[in-house]
A and B are shown apart, each in its own frame.
Chain A
């Protein structure tokens, strides 16, 4: 029971730092797959495998491509992309609503398509291109047409769901699913707004869809 409780504790930053020196090489091999990885680690005899196995709590040196920039950090294997964005990289645009894939607040673009960052492990997002709301505007600060349309149509109240709504809306138009307000509602249904700004969101999406000639 006590053992269990200890196991359940999150890894403290202090312990992480202690582990980094000893375990990096092993964890990196695991990540690279191919020749490395579990099979190799286990290939030794039972008596040596103890030493070959990296600590299960070791952090993993992780490189993520977010908004065209490379971000590096040593991350716990459990850390979701959403938590890495918010807590490690200071990109707090993506919001944590339900943390279980049910509300759409954490929606980001990955390799150009909308996905949920709360159900994506950051180690698994390596090698993919992530775009968050912070990366949507032009470099000169000009807003993306969808951002402007949300302002024009007053499509936000508290604004909490808005980053996810906007990225989802951009995709909805790109996917060619913004043909009618029924279609917009259906294809935006993965994004929940507790303020119920829905009517104005639909109007904003419809406007951008027309601008883009969809």
Chain B
């Protein structure tokens, strides 16, 4: 690990000021980093994939931004809430099952006690070439250096949203749940506060794989707002992995559905483990609206969801696996027992 300055600002304003102060004299905007739970950041600093000169510890913000609140129209999740606390929260479990499931199926109990929601959506890819700086070629780590995964071991890599510059999978689980529920994210930065749809937070790699989000420099995520919509209760997260527990997804699907008399009124589908960013499958949703769900219809939608897949030498199996994952998720969500109370 490279040496760094450490500071612990006492408020949001103080944190933003410290960030601005520390990058002001530096042309390198990665010279400072915010620390939340540290489970991504400290790991990657040890590997020297990320080498900030300043660590700004945001722990003091927890007091203000870790609340889980439900009002008439929305569920509000503080960005510094711990994954474990949200996963076990009664309102979340009962009324937003896809959120509770995506969080409780992620990482381990210890990590979920440390990791925050904000840090979770900003976690880095687990692409082995990205995580190992002894590989020279990685456009995400060293822009313009190439991509070792294209010619390398790419079994775990993405098939949707890739470019010739990067095929790294987005590895988080919670992001898919947020997309399925039409959530938005609240950001505070040097230029003020704004809220954007969560679905527009992440970017596909295109020709700038090192720019992973649409966050402005120095912006801090403070909150997630999940609207209470008719499909929030009929929702689930299905995660397929190489071992049964404590493993990232090879393929996953978050689905939320509004059914009326067996007919799909509305549906949201987000795919994980197969794409470069939390992935909304709009065309597949369109195929389902106004229809009943049976195996054939689900398979048709799943086929559409992967029409544009670009498999690599080792990950072609993710096409049929991703499709079956979605089929099962759709059938399961359609047959869920959902009370109206």
Given A77-B5, A113-B113, also A190-B246 (CB < 8 A): yes
Question: Using a Cβ–Cβ cut-off of 8 Å, how many residues does chain A contribute to the interface with B?
Answer: 51
Please report which residues of chain B, range 113-162, place their CB below 8 angstroms from some CB of chain A when the two chains form the complex.
Answer: 113-114
Residues of B contacting A: mostly: mixed
CB of B315 within 8 Å of the partner chain: no
Instruction: Given A101-B39, A124-B38, A186-B245, answer yes or no on A38-B5 (Cβ-Cβ < 8 Å).
Output: yes
Is B336's CB within 8 Å of the partner chain A?
Answer: no
Whether B110 and A115, one on each chain, are in contact in the complex, defined by CB atoms closer than 8 angstroms, is: yes
Decide if B8 touches A100 in the complex (CB within 8 Å).
no
Find out whether the CB atom of B6 lies under 8 angstroms from the CB atom of A60.
yes
Residue B3 lies at the interface, judged by CB distance under 8 Å to chain A: yes
Given contacts A39-B17, A101-B111, A119-B38, contact A33 B7 (CB under 8 A): yes
- Pick the contact of B110 from A54, A80, A116, A124 — CB < 8 Å? A116
Interface residues on B, range: 35 or more
Q: Is A95 an interface residue (CB 8 A)?
A: no
Q: At the interface with chain A, which of B50-58, B193-201, B209-217, B270-278? A: B50-58
Q: Which of B2-33 contact A (CB under 8 A)?
A: 2-10, 14, 17-18, 20-22, 24-25, 32
- Residue from the set A30, A37, A191 with the largest chain B CB neighbour count within 10 Å: A37
Name the prevailing secondary structure of the A interface residues. mixed
- Say how far A52's CB is from chain B's closest CB, in angstroms: 11
A154-198 contacts to B, CB under 8 A, are 168, 171-172, 175, 177, 185-191
Residue of B nearest to A41 (CB): B21
A residues 66-87 in Cβ contact with B at 8 Å = 76-78, 80
Q: Give the residues from 35 to 52 in chain B that come closer than 8 angstroms, CB to CB, to chain A.
A: 35, 37-39, 42-43, 45-47
Chain B: residues with CB nearer than 8 A to chain A?
Answer: 1-10, 14, 17-18, 20-22, 24-25, 32, 35, 37-39, 42-43, 45-47, 53-57, 59-60, 84, 107-111, 113-114, 245-246
